[in-house]
Amino acid sequence: MTLPKDALLRLLAHDKPVVGALCSTRGPMGNRVTGAESFDSTAPMTLRAGETGLRRVEVLGFGVTMIRTTVFDRVPVESFEMRWSPELQAVEGEDFSFFRALKRAGIAAYADMGLSWEVGHIGSVPLGLENVLTEGRK
């Protein structure tokens, strides 16, 4: 991951139990986002170029995510599991299983949208949210 030097301070300033940045996936075109506004939607995450502020999300990838230790009083560490999802017909990563447990516990998660535009996910080249927009996903 590539991120600005002040990323930690920016996340801490939000004073939220779970806050992070959306990231582009590492795929060849980086055309998906590691996050979702809702578990109930198969639609891709809606991105607005240059958006700032916090956005409530139901899942974030773990690339740039800060979780207060007190969260683990309500969400067991065992929630970090990879499992088969019959609905998706694919393996669901530990980020999704953890955020499902977070939702069951009634704990909200937030994406720092300004920081999200400054984060890169390193594959063969660093990929950012602008790659998602240039691939036609909004």
Name the 3-class secondary structure at 2: strand
Q: How far is CA 120 from CA 27, 34, 81, 89, 136, in A?
A: 13, 12, 25, 28, 18
pLDDT of residue 137: 44
Q: Which of 101, 99, 115 is nearest to 36 (CA)?
A: 99
pLDDT in tens, 62-86: 889 999 999 999 998 888 888 887 8
Domain ranges of the chain: 7-72+107-134
**Sign (positive or negative) of CA dihedral 64, 22, 91, 95:** positive
How confident is the model at residue 138, as a pLDDT? 41
pLDDT at residue number 136: 47
83-85/18-20 β-pairing: unpaired
